[in-house]
Amino acid sequence: GGRHSGVVIRLRVRLTLAEARNLAASKARGEFLLFMDDDNAAKPGEVSTLVTAALATGADISAPGNDYLIGDASPHGSSPAGRWLPLGAAVGAGVFKDVYGDANALIRKSMFMELGGWHVAHGRGGADSMGEDWELYARAVLQGYTLQAVPYPLFWYRQAPGSMDKTTSLHLYQERVLTPFGEQVPAGLAGALELAKTLLAERSEEPSVAESVSKAMAGAAARDQLMCAAFKHSHNKYASTDSSAGTAAAGHNLVKNHDFGNAVDLLSHFGKSTSGVVAGWQPFSDGYDWFEHGDTDLAMTVESLGTARGAQQLIHVGQSDATGPEPILLGARSRADTSEDAGNVLSADYSLYADLRHADGSQTFGYFLPFQGRKSWEWAAGVIVPDKPVASARLYLLFRHRIGTAWFDDVMLRPLTAADVCGARVKRSGAGVVFTRDTPFLVSDSPYR
């Protein structure tokens, strides 16, 4: 075949997602545009299928479905966690829910330019890059352009832990998404439309009675299983003995390099921040820094709200059908210096976060321990009581959606036995780690298995 020429745009300034896409579209020479984010991976035949659909139907927007994965692993050889298909140009439903399609869609360039491209908004908490596809597609349909749903999963979509679509309030979408609908109704009814959407968002964010009861029952079952003699740690470290070999024995911390004392590049010691040099820890999102200030710790600095810092480690736990499921203790220390008020809301955006893979190959996601953001060191810990044996766990240290720096140290993941603990809140004493009556029992935030 012939050689395909392309255009590479290297940005010297930071742009919002919408601005970057609009710039790329302005340089495109073809009849159609296809936007592919870094959490997307095209399946074979995506482009040809979408072009065929657009030419056959005359659609201005051809929106496919997707198979999605949890985490940042390659989709090759993976089984999807689930599938999402768009409904299409359903204007009534589109007021309240994004039914039109993902940004990964084939868009006729002439229509895109006539509509002014992606709407650019500068907001807090990543609001500049949320709902822009919903707003564009609603605007197109309301102005008489055609949107065609292509009911096939033509690309992979990776959902990262704590990502904006999983953690952001629906309220942050409203100002942008309601704009095209508000332009189509009499001025006196625009407020009613906004109120209806606000009430729906509030209701959507409240846990259902069934969810509340389920979490309460999970906590009660965990407490019943763990009611036994109090456990006292025999070492004076937070996390017992570091398990360099990853031996999955009860009582041993399975986190490699849990106190960040081992660096790959020993010349980086002298108080300088470096990226990705800590043994055993891989960067996540925009990565992390490593510091040595007498003691070692892992640092993450966020200078703009579009930046997400993180570190991750895959840990062999080794539970099996023979051993059965056993409780797992998570813990870490952290402190933060932030210049922006994050609303004092505890969330996965600043947390120790865990996803589990079970011995039967299924997965549960979204166990997290939030930090309060104090300037002094705080210790957070909790217990996961899995209903199936855990083969491995992926731990994340996350710091996003707030300006400043967070430091992490003494990360712990250790299996417990039913005779280990009694009660609840894990805290530190002179003798080591002890349990009191308030220990949080962590519940997965995802139904996928």
What distance in Å separates the CA atoms of residue 334 and residue 352, rounded to the nearest whole number? 9
Q: What is the mean pLDDT of residues 147-175?
A: 72
What distance in Å separates the CA atoms of residue 201 and residue 97, rounded to the nearest whole number? 10
What pLDDT sits at residue 247? 37
Choose between 1 and 25: higher pLDDT: 25
Collapse the DSSP code of 398 into the 3-class scheme (helix H, G, I; strand E, B; otherwise coil) and give the result. Answer: strand
Q: Angle at Cα 427 formed by Cα 424 and Cα 432, nearest 5°?
A: 120
pLDDT band at 270 (very low <50, low <70, confident <90, very high): very low
Which range among 17-31, 56-70, 148-162, 432-446 shows the weakest confidence by mean pLDDT? 432-446
Domain 212-442, CATH 2.40.160.40 — does that match? no
Which secondary structure element, helix H or strand E, spans residue 32, and what is its range?
strand 32-34
Which range among 10-14, 121-125, 268-272, 370-374 shows the weakest confidence by mean pLDDT? 268-272
Question: Domain map of the chain by residue range?
Answer: 17-205, 212-442
| pLDDT mean across residues, the chain | 76
**What is the Cα 74 distance to its own chain's centre?**
16
Neighbours of 157 (CB within 10 A): 23
pLDDT beyond 60 at 449: no
Of 193, 140, 124, 178, nearest in space to 340 by CA: 124
Cβ proximity of 285 and 71 under 8 Å: no
In this prediction, what percent of the chain has a pLDDT beyond 70? 63
Q: Which of 27-41, 199-213, 418-432 has the highest mean pLDDT?
A: 27-41
Q: Which two tokens stand for residue 377?
A: 């060191």
If phi > 0 it is left, if psi is from -120 to 50 it is alpha, else beta; for residue 277 that is alpha
Q: What is the mean pLDDT of residues 241-263?
A: 66
Which range among 24-33, 88-97, 113-122, 333-342 shows the weakest confidence by mean pLDDT? 333-342
pLDDT band at 434 (very low <50, low <70, confident <90, very high): very low
Q: Which two tokens stand for residue 337?
A: 């210096």
Q: Are strands 40-42 and 289-293 parallel, antiparallel or unpaired?
A: unpaired
Residue type, 141: V
pLDDT beyond 70 at 420: no
pLDDT beyond 60 at 293: no
What pLDDT sits at residue 323? 78
- 17-205: what CATH class? alpha beta
Choose between 237 and 335: higher pLDDT: 335
The phi and psi torsions of 365 (rounded to 5 degrees) equal -130, 160
Tens of pLDDT, residues 274-292: 444 788 899 999 888 876 6
Query: What pTM, to 2 d.p., does this model score?
Result: 0.48
